[in-house]
Chain A
Amino acid sequence: MKPAPFAWERPANLAALLERVATAPGSVKLIAGGQSLGPMLNLRLVEPDLVLDITGIPELRQARVEGETLVLGACVTHADIEDGRVPDLTGGALQRVASAIAYRPVRNRGTIGGSLVHADPAADWVNALTALGAAVEIAGRNGRRTLPLERFVTGALEVALEPGEILLAVRIPALPDGTAWGYVKHCAKIGEFAHAIGAVRIEPGAGRGRAVIGAVEGPPVLLADARPLFGGRIGADFAERFDPAAADAALRAAGMADAVERHVHVTVLARAVAQAARPNPLPLPEAA
């Protein structure tokens, strides 16, 4: 379990990084925390010619608030969020998600951008940030663009980065007062990748809500308009109105044929809804 030979460089600034990503011959991989790429290199599942270490680039480590949007650089670690070293506009929702990602050593090194670009369907950020309505900032030599996260993650381990592009930052909208948030995952053991994830962001006052069913075969199943899950209407009584059959139908429509898997995913979503309806969310958003 040793990687195939590769070259290693550590660009000092964004311009240098974008230049190398665009022009380096052969295959290139970016490494930040290395919590997924490291094992993949060792298992020789990937054999890049060049690995670019992006942790020396100040822009990628920045975190700032722009009005009602929190902008987290791609190299912000899960532990940065867990420990409150970056600002928050989500009433602690991000912090709770971060604190239950894998194990502390993984959180110390693993980054929010790395998790999104790796796009494991069972990863917490892929699902939680989709439910929160986050977007990603993408940079290339020819400029920058922004994509909603649901259009960035296109499949299991697949994202909409063009050749020469990198993920720069994540843009997370604030959770307005009165917004209910629930995030539950089901793991075989603490710290393992989830077998099912349910996330809901509900504004009972506005009658709006988003829901995500995650840890599925492909990208998260997003209900950008979650009203069908609640009998067509979202109000203060949303938890009582949750309709498991509607969630099951959504999963069938998404191609989940296995009834046992559907049952587990619907159960986890139902618990996320119940959590959202409680005033004080549990510190560890895990079902098992």
Chain B
Amino acid sequence: MSAEGVGARLPRKEDDRLMRGRGQYVGDIRLPGMQDVAFVRSPLAHARIRAIHVPEAYRDRVFTAAGLDGVLPIRAVSGLPGFKVSEQPVLATGKVRQVGELVAMCLAPTRAEAEDIAASVVLDLEELPAIHDMLAAREPGSALVHEHWGDNVFLETLVDVDIAAAFDAPIQVSRTISTGRQCMAPIEGRGTVVQLDHRLDQLVVHTATQMPHIVRNGLSECLGLEQGRIRIVSPDVGGGFGYKAILLAEDVALCWLALRCGHPVRWLEDRREHLTANANCREHHYRITAYAERDGTLRGIDCEATVDSGAYSAYPFSACLEAAQVASILPGPYDFPSYRCRTWSVATNKCPILPYRGVARTGVCFALELVLDAVAREAGLPPEVVREKNLVRPEQMPFENITRKHFDSGDYPQALARALASIDVEAVRARQRAGEPDGRRIGLGLSIYCEQAAHGTSVYSGWGIPMVPGHEQVSARLTPDGGLELRVGAHSHGQGLETTLAQVAHEILGVPVARTRLVHGDTAMTPYSTGSWGSRVMVMAGGAVAAACEALRDRAVRIGAHLLQARPEECRFEGGHVVGPSGDVPLEAIARTWYRRPQDLAPDTDPGGLEVTAGYKPVRDSGTFSYAAHAAVVAVDPDLGAVEILDYVIVEDGGTLVNPLVVDGQIYGGLAQGVGTALFEEMRFDARGQPLASTFADYLLPGPAEVPMARIDHMETPSPYTRFGQKGIGEGGAIAPPAALANAINDALGALGVEMLHSPVTPRRIVEAVLAARTGPQQAREAA
């Protein structure tokens, strides 16, 4: 390993810019003549539009669906059999199906004036019954989000692998477990600035997105424009987490408006729009039964899972990715013989649901790990024993699990053992027995997951959604002075790719990381890519950078050999130099020769020169499986419901780590979001479908005081299928914490007869449960 290559713990190059406030975000873009847009949004969750009254004075500044000629609705269709298609109008037509749905677009020189205009538009709405409860929405006779469907189910799926064989198990534990609806809350919201480039007859769309090329597909389809007439530029992006991996109706509307007006137009999402209008995540409901032997060996898992998909199918992942993924990944890192899972993706009058960091894994891990603890209590076994009994073992690798997921490598029991040793189970149990002087109760919680990442064509072609990843391509170019440019279609929005991809290039070419520039976030300058999602970039773009740099290296060796008057096979490439029998020549000299002194090249030199586009796919594209064991110790105040995290340990195996420092950062960030899911974040709705939080005073995110300083331990079991053995790890930190923390809380409060089965585990819910256990359910209901 070289000092800057794969495995080096380098600080991130981009932080010099980002930490000094010199990042360039969509909100920093100022274009001459630019005007601002504010939207009139539906105040109701479900209503028929009778009329939209626009004051006479603003007729030329307000646009509704009636004026949006030639614009098609957003359609994110899945090819899975039985999937029902929703059409999301760019501006509402006929009905509104969620609070915050776009009804009219108002244009003014400033956002404040545009909001003044929006406030003057009067909507005449006939309110319809709102569908806000996904379980009720499945019942016959429910009001309908999309009338022509006949019900509210986007998609129903069923997997059954011999579940009946488990029915005679001596231990059967059933629970109803659910996770709250969340917002993704990146620091930077969405935002779009569209400019019409008259010279190129091209819309230049500056937008905060994780997937510029996919946004171009979607805009082209909705606007009926050739792809060549659209260029997407995604500058610095202040966090994505899945929220910036969808095409928004706002993006389409702004493009139409720029074409119509001719001057640049801008919309910047504000926090209220983010919280109430644009997309949610995470709302799952499980009825789950575990069948086990008395020694904790799992016989089977039987589950009914429902996901509240919201009103529309979001582009490109569709409304069913989340629930259908539940069915395929619920078994997690465990090996058992019987399994059944039925899922429903249900339409409601809420914002569309999106894949958020971890996607369905966070909910699945919550359901499965909580029910495993229930099995342990039922069997009278420590929770770690139930896990040790059932984890996939290293000698089974590569392992195909019950839903035919292919685990590439790893030692799951070792991760658990290290976590148990690090958290010091004996010491925690002793403290627990001794009791706390302040009356709080101590609990220990475990949670283990596996994260399929960088899964490619063979997986996504089955979903039949608008986006299927193929080969990932990267262009590598040596500049005339020997620097390196990498053109990458994926995008960095916090992952540190400007550093880590340069490390990969350094590993092959020896170019200093400081002399390698990443060109990304621009469809005009980069090869096609589905973008940054699914923890795929280090595997896919990392592999492609290596492939492109290897091709460059081979060309450099041939040019260098000529300069050294040697045969290419007599030369080798080492530390950025071509080394021949009688001397060596640095990459700078080779670049100078190709670009500036072509007279020194061999007559038969490769005309491709020092710029290469290479494509990459792992030898098997069913995905890498990173995994981790999390262990948490909490102190719970049963009278106030306050939870303090006393200790938190993460043992993670991400295969070969390209930059362990960046991986640590990914884990810490994911953990912060996982703590939010576990204890704080929830967007609640009333019976009329009104979201009950519109600022961060009501939608609580964890702050620095609430996120523990976790202790991270790395294992590195290389993937046999990827270029360096690296695995995707970007989402894992957010997957396990809700289960680990809820299990710890349940361990703390179990003696009081309390079991918390809904995230977030808020103080209010804890006190309710403690009082209910003290006074009996009847009085507690009256109390609530």
Contact B640 A288 (CB under 8 A): yes
Which B residues are in CB contact (< 8 Å) with A5? 112, 116
Closest to B704 in A: A190
In the complex, the answer to whether A3 meets B112 with C-beta atoms within 8 Å is yes
A259 at the interface (CB under 8 A from B): yes
* Most A CB within 10 A of own CB, among B641, B694, B703: B641
Known: A1-B272, A263-B639, A267-B640. A192 touches B119 (CB 8 A): no
Q: Least Cβ distance of B698 to chain A in Å?
A: 10
A191 to B764, CA, bound (A): 18
CA A258 to CA B783, docked complex, whole Å: 5
A186-222 at interface with B (beta carbon < 8 Å)? 186, 188-193, 195-196
Q: How far is the CA of A267 from the CA of B782 in the complex (A)?
A: 20
B639 near A288: Cβ-Cβ < 8 Å: no
Q: Is the CB of B703 within 8 A of A188?
A: no
Residue B482 interfacial (CB < 8 Å): no
Which residues in window 679-730 of B have CB below 8 A to A? 680, 694-695, 697, 700, 702-703, 705-706
- If A260-B764, A260-B771, A264-B767 touch, whether A190 touches B640 (CB-CB below 8 Å) is no
Q: B702 to chain A: which residues have CB within 8 Å? A: 189
Is A44's CB within 8 Å of the partner chain B? yes
B271 within 8 A of A: yes
Q: How many residues of B contact A (CB 8 A)?
A: 35
Q: How far is the CB of B347 from chain A (nearest CB, A)?
A: 29
A43 touches B640 (CB 8 A): no
Residue B522 lies at the interface, judged by CB distance under 8 Å to chain A: no
Given A189-B703, A267-B639, A288-B640, are A260 and B768 also a contact pair (CB < 8 Å)?
Answer: yes
Whether the pair A264, B112 counts as a contact (CB closer than 8 A) is no
Q: What range describes how many residues of A lie at the interface?
A: 20 to 34
Q: Taking A260-B784, A263-B767 as contacts, is the C-beta distance between A43 and B111 under 8 angstroms? A: no
Instruction: Please give the distance in Å from B697's CB to the nearest CB on chain A.
Output: 7
- Residue of B270, B694, B706 touching A190 (CB-CB under 8 A): B706
B642, A2: Cβ atoms closer than 8 Å: no
B637 touches A288 (CB 8 A): yes
- CB pair A259–B783 under 8 Å, yes or no, is yes
B763 at interface by CB-CB < 8 Å: yes
Question: CB < 8 Å: which of A258, A259, A264 contacts B640?
Answer: A264
Residue A46, interface by CB 8 Å: no
Contact flag A1-B270 (CB < 8 Å), given A44-B119, A189-B706, A260-B771? yes
Of A2, A43, A195, A258, which contacts B112 at CB under 8 A? A2
B residues less than 8 Å from A176 (CB atoms): none
Across the interface, B642 reaches (CB within 8 A) one of A186, A258, A259, A260, namely: A186
Contacts of A189 in B (CB 8 A): 680, 700, 702-703, 705-706
Query: How many Å lie between the Cα of A191 and that of B111 in the bound state?
Result: 31
Q: Chain B's nearest CB lies how many Å from the CB of A23?
A: 27
**Smallest Cβ-Cβ distance to B640: which chain A residue:** A186
A87 within 8 A of B: no
Q: Which residues of A contact B272 (CB under 8 A)?
A: 1, 43
Q: Which residues of B contact A288 (CB under 8 A)?
A: 637, 640, 642, 644, 763
- Tell whether, in the assembled complex, residue B116 and residue A4 are in contact, meaning their CB atoms are under 8 Å apart: yes
C-alpha gap A190/B706 in the complex (Å): 8
What are the residues of chain A within 8 A of B700 when measuring CB–CB?
188-189, 192
**Pair A191/B703 contact, Cβ less than 8 Å:** yes
Q: Which of A1, A190, A268, A287 contacts B703 (CB 8 A)?
A: A190
Shortest distance between the CB of B564 and any CB in chain A (Å):
63
Which residues in B have their C-beta under 8 angstroms from that of A259? 771, 779-780, 782-783
Please, which residues of chain B bring their CB within 8 A of the CB of A188?
A: 680, 700, 762-763
Q: Give 5 A-B contacts (CB < 8 Å), ordered by A residue.
A: A4-B119, A189-B680, A192-B700, A264-B639, A287-B640
